[in-house]
Amino acid sequence: MPERSGASAAQLPTNDSPHMRLVFLGSGAFGLPTFEALARMHDIALVVTQPDRPAQRGKKLTPTPIGEMAARIEMPVIKPQDINTLESIEQVRAVQPDAIVVIAYGQKIGVELRNIAPMINLHGSLLPKYRGAAPINWAVMNGETTAGVTIIDVADRMDAGAMYGSASTTIDPMETAGELHDRLAQLGPDLMLQVLDDIRRGAAESAQQNESQATKAPKLSKAIGTVSFDQPADRVRAMVHGLTPWPGCTVLHEKKRLKLLRVQDVESPDSATQPCAILDGGLVACATGAVQLLSVQPPGGKSMSFEAYCRGHEVTAGSMLMPIVEPSEQRA
């Protein structure tokens, strides 16, 4: 939990009922555990989520994970293209919420909407580190040993609001960003319920973020989804796991693409071996140490052990695993 400051506590309303009337703004699966908990403990008067989008090969319009759950439990839902239009603002104001909860919503929220009721956001990092769209991926890729979630005010600058509380966990070196995402999502419900109860009682206290410690976690793209082995083995492992499951970490083996799903950094049996070279036992030489390939996925295929992959593909010692280089990078 951050150090407490009473600066904002007096500005929040007091509600004698243990149940609060809420508006929930969310889209991604990260918010599902907290959404479920709030639906059990409070009155969610309105759910706001992103519009349905084409998905998979059939391009069928598909609701967001939050939109799908809200429809399943028959909650009122709106899906505005722009949450900051007068119509959307009036729809939120009309339900007279005690508080507004935001988790992985996906749109910038203007000041007029923020002024309707106390608005708090569950963010997937230990702020002020990793402000932005992909905090969990960047924490893993950067080799962090600890991650967590923080509840903050929604402010003009992305993820820069005052902090009401946080919860942390240790990152397992063998954990992918997808697996860490699911674990961090489970930290949200208890923390959110506690902060909302503080707001209800007029006892919420906040602490300003230390701007000197702020770092960014920008949105990922498919172009970043590869790794070079000319760096230390622990760095390679962190990159592979941080890119999994999306955008994925794809390399080239004998001009064929291969997605790396899970690796383990180990000492290299031959420190003189050129980085990127495949060694015996499913090892790949790095600048220092080596990584053992554990799980891979060929194009159009399923996840499998590297041992199983080798049974169906010719993999010789000394052959190379190379990063994918985009044409624009080659020209540069």
CATH at residue 249: 3.10.25.10
- Supply the pTM of this predicted model: 0.91
State the Cα–Cα distance between residues 34 and 229, nearest whole angstrom. 39
Tokens of 237: 């492992």
Q: Are residue 204 and residue 308 in the same domain, yes or no?
A: no
User: What is the average pLDDT value for the chain, to the nearest integer?
Assistant: 92
Are 132 and 75 within one domain? yes
pLDDT of residue 9: 36
Mean pLDDT across the stretch 268-272?
76
Does residue 205 share a domain with residue 57?
Answer: yes
Question: Residue 10 has what pLDDT?
Answer: 33
User: Which of the four pLDDT bands, split at 50, 70 and 90, describes residue 56?
Assistant: confident
Backbone angles phi, psi at 41, to 5 degrees: -100, -20
Q: Which of 161, 152, 151, 160 is nearest to 216 (CA)?
A: 160
Answer for the pair 165, 199: CB distance below 8 angstroms, yes or no: no
CA 147 – CA 170 distance, rounded (Å): 6
**Whether residues 120 and 188 fall in one domain:** yes
| pLDDT higher than 50, residue 32 | yes
Comparing 40-44, 216-220, 272-276, 303-307, the range with the smallest average pLDDT is 272-276
Residue bearing tokens 């402000």: 131
What pLDDT score does 2 carry? Answer: 38
Q: Which strands sit side by side in the sheet containing 99-103, from one edge to the other?
A: 77-78, 43-48, 21-26, 99-103, 119-123, 146-153, 163-170
With a cut of 90, say whether residue 1 has pLDDT above it.
no
pLDDT at 266: 95
106 in a structural domain: yes
Domain end marker among 163, 184, 213: 213
Residue span of the structural domain in which 226 resides: 222-331
* 121 in the same domain as 78: yes
Q: Does residue 252 share a domain with residue 199?
A: no
Summarised one tens digit per residue, pLDDT across range 314-329 is 999 999 999 998 654 4
Q: What is the pLDDT of residues 196-243, one digit of tens each?
A: 999 999 999 999 999 999 999 999 999 999 999 999 999 999 999 999
Phi, psi of 119, rounded to the nearest 5 degrees: -120, 120
pLDDT, one tens digit per residue, over 143-201 is 999 999 999 999 999 999 999 999 999 999 999 999 999 999 999 999 999 999 999 99
pLDDT, average across residues 22-39:
98
Q: Mark whether 177 and 267 lie in a shared domain.
A: no
In our burial notation (b when 16+ CB lie closer than 10 A, e otherwise), range 42-81 reads bebbbbbbbeeeeeeeeeeeebbbbbebbeeeebebbbbe
SS3 326: coil
4: pLDDT strictly greater than 80: no
Number of structural domains, the chain? 2
Strand 278-279 relative to strand 119-123: parallel, antiparallel, unpaired? Answer: unpaired
pLDDT of residue 3 exceeding 70: no
Looking at residue 134, the DSSP 8-state letter turns out to be -
Residues 155 and 260 in one domain: no
Reported confidence tier of residue 17, pLDDT bands at 50, 70, 90: low
- Containing 308, the helix (H) or strand (E) segment is helix 306-312
Last residue of a domain, one of 213, 242, 271: 213
What would the pLDDT profile of 106-147 be if each residue is shown by its tens digit? 999 999 999 999 999 999 999 999 999 999 999 999 999 999
| Structure confidence at residue 297 (pLDDT) | 98
What integer pLDDT is reported at residue 12 of this predicted model? 42
Please list, in sequence order, all residues whose beta carbon lies within 8 angstroms of the beta carbon of residue 137, skipping any fewer than 6 positions away. Answer: 177, 217, 220, 242, 243
The H or E element that residue 45 is part of is: strand 43-48
Q: What's 184's domain CATH number?
A: 3.40.50.170
